[in-house]
Amino acid sequence: MKKVADLFSGVGGLSLGFQRAGFDIVGSFDNWERAVEVYRENFKHPSFVADLSVADEVIPQIAALKPDLIIGGPPCQDFSQAGKRNEGGRANLTHVFSKIVSELNPEMFIMENVARAESSKAYKLARNEFRKAGYGLTEIVLDASLCGVPQKRKRFFCIGRKNEYEQFLLSRFKASMSSEPMTPRLFFGREFGFEHYYRHPRNYSRRAIFSVDEPAPTMRGVNRPVPPNYPGHPGDTASKENVRSLTTLERARMQTFPASFKWKGTKTDIEQMIGNAVPVKLAEFVAEIVMNYLNNNETGILQLAEVK
């Protein structure tokens, strides 16, 4: 069984998805102690509070776990669609991730981030680092709703394997994605007991009320009730008088965490943990493709021969 270390793990969305796909998670690392506390409530393997930006200090600790794969989602706030788009310290953690991978030299790595990270300066530095270390890369933006998640959340994945050719997994991803998006009704059935719900928009030029028969919008790190002054929007699927915002646990379910997942901390912290997380089913979708690829014992040379 392939051993996996999860960096910038948060509460463990990536870890849980890879664990479900059959990987052996041997340890996780994150700088937010409260998120690590939640992680420890839900997993049996070690979870470490660590400042991964100080790579030289944490590399020996990761190396001691002898991972075959390194996975992780470096914090992505500086790449987000909202607010100023200048790349700052958090964006640089993408480059730190690549340095850790290059130093430890695992068989494979999987890095997740927001969609716009693909065109960032920080990712370009990371890509160069990966290639210098001998990794062939598959780079793809995935719509979570086409990967089994009832949420239209677009995320960038970079998957590298030693001595592979470029985009070595791309055809597998395209063949595995659904042609129809997942919706809350299809995923949860009657679990929620409502038809429409409110999700606070970034501004009132955007809609805020959604139906369970369409993919949910991206779960962010904030969750607000319907404000009395919400003016409504032509795209809303119901009137504000007949809806409410999702509860914290309903938002966790939209991120496809199991109902049995244990949460602890303040409501504000938990909402942020949920918004930061990789949807479990999206992680599982990626992990199953990687597992299938590894189980087939394919090599870059054989695959190149097939496509000629």
pLDDT in tens, 65-117: 999 999 999 986 554 444 444 445 455 899 999 999 999 999 999 999 999 99
Helix extents (H) in the chain: 13-20, 33-42, 55-63, 89-104, 121-132, 170-176, 184-188, 248-254, 267-276, 280-295, 300-307
Instruction: Please give the mean pLDDT across all residues of the chain.
Output: 92
Rounded mean pLDDT of 9-22? 98
Phi then psi dihedrals of residue 55, to 5 deg: -60, -40
254 pLDDT more than 90: yes
First to last CA, the chain: 32
38 pLDDT more than 50: yes
Query: How confident is the model at residue 283, as a pLDDT?
Result: 98
Distance CA 210, CA 196 (A): 5
The band of 307, judged by pLDDT with boundaries at 50, 70 and 90, is very low
The helix/strand/coil state of 138 is strand
- The region of weakest confidence among 11-20, 22-31, 58-67, 290-299 is 290-299
Any idea what DSSP says for residue 195?
S
- Residue 136 · residue 163 · CB < 8 Å: yes
What is the pTM (predicted TM-score) of this model? 0.92
- The region of weakest confidence among 99-108, 183-192, 199-208, 296-305 is 296-305
Query: How confident is the model at residue 92, as a pLDDT?
Result: 85
- Compute the half-sphere exposure of residue 75: CA atoms within 13 Å on the CB side of its CA: 19
183 pLDDT more than 60: yes
The band of 265, judged by pLDDT with boundaries at 50, 70 and 90, is very high
23 pLDDT more than 90: yes
Of 272, 249, 273, 271, the residue nearest 261 (C-alpha): 249
CATH of domain 3-179+278-307: 3.40.50.150
Over residues 201-245, the pLDDT tens digits come to 999 999 999 999 999 999 999 999 999 999 999 999 999 999 999
- Residue 184 · residue 254 · CB < 8 Å: yes
Q: List active site positions.
A: 76
Rounded mean pLDDT of 179-185? 98
> Domain spans of the chain?
3-179+278-307
